[in-house]
Amino acid sequence: MSMAARNLGIVCGILPTGEKNAITDVPGVRVGHHTIRDGDVNTGVTAILPHGGNLFRKKVLAASEVINGFGKSAGLVQVDELGTIETPILLTNTLSVGTCVTALVREAIAANPDIGRTTSTVNAVVGECNDGPLNDIQALAVTEEHVRSALAEAHSGEVAEGSVGAGTGMTCFGFKGGIGTSSRRMVLDDRDFHLGVLVLSNFGRVGDLVLPDGRRPDPRAKQEAEKGSIMIVLATDVPMEHRQLKRVTRRCGAGIARLGAFWGHGSGDIAIGFTTGASVDHDESGDFYPITALNEDRIDMLFRAATEATQEAILNSLCAAEAFRGRGGTKRPSLADWLRQQS
């Protein structure tokens, strides 16, 4: 099991976590990875499935927030225009977005032969970060088969973190970054609800990281301009409409800022949010359909949950990642090692 920030004495915020402290605490959500490590090639694919059914037929309500747009993601324009997601969400390296889109389209057509014939085309959603320093990104190593592997491996249990899947070659604040996740549990109308976040952390200038207790870890690396990225996927089962969900998703940026990042010019910082508590039937025949929405006077609880879960997910990505040697012998230290040295 991956080393979590809490195991090293780092706690973010005041809200309780879910049982797994992962995005998979949101009922129905599944996560799968395919990891590629072969010499100078260190990359992969991570898949997030909002539910286990046919997403094209039963879309989830969704929104995205472009915090800083130095990125090459696919599908975000339609997500914000229509307010839905209709494929799994894939995360990968910058130059593999096209391959992932094609794989998602093939999977959707196989399950829905009417796509592009008698009904609409499909909007594949893919996010990326540049893992070039630790991965031979020009090798274009990610294949459609790797995508299918990540989708097939998706499950609702504990989520592997650190240098796995899309996170294999990522760097964060000069330390080894990668995949991290966290969740928060809330009570609304006497019922338990969850909000979970999964991040692909590849951002932050060396020396800028600030822990919740005020310490500033030093990876002893050369300070350069911030030119990484972070992809954030937020999931919740709280019923909301698109506008409310966009407001909550925007608060992921506060979680990044709490750690000392300022969303630099060269950093692609993007959040995608969805709720399993509201869906849209692709084959809806009625002129209207009902939707349950959150009482907006209660939304501050979700703002806090999004902020805390994002902050902790990033720290989990750092703590779970061991010291790493990548392309051409390039090294990245482990935050967990630094923390142990301080104790």
User: Known catalytic residues?
Assistant: 229, 267, 269
Q: Name the amino acid, one letter, at 153.
A: E
Nearest to 108 by CA among 151, 76, 73: 151
Structure tokens at 343: 């104790």
The 8-class DSSP code of residue 321 comes to P
Q: What residues form DSSP beta bridges with 270? A: 66, 231
- Whether the Cβ atoms of residue 158 and residue 19 lie closer than 8 Å to each other: no
Structure tokens at 274: 């969805």
Rounded alpha-carbon distances, angstroms, from residue 5 to 94, 114, 216, 308, 337: 27, 46, 15, 13, 12
- Whether the Cβ atoms of residue 125 and residue 85 lie closer than 8 Å to each other: yes
Structure tokens at 150: 């990540």
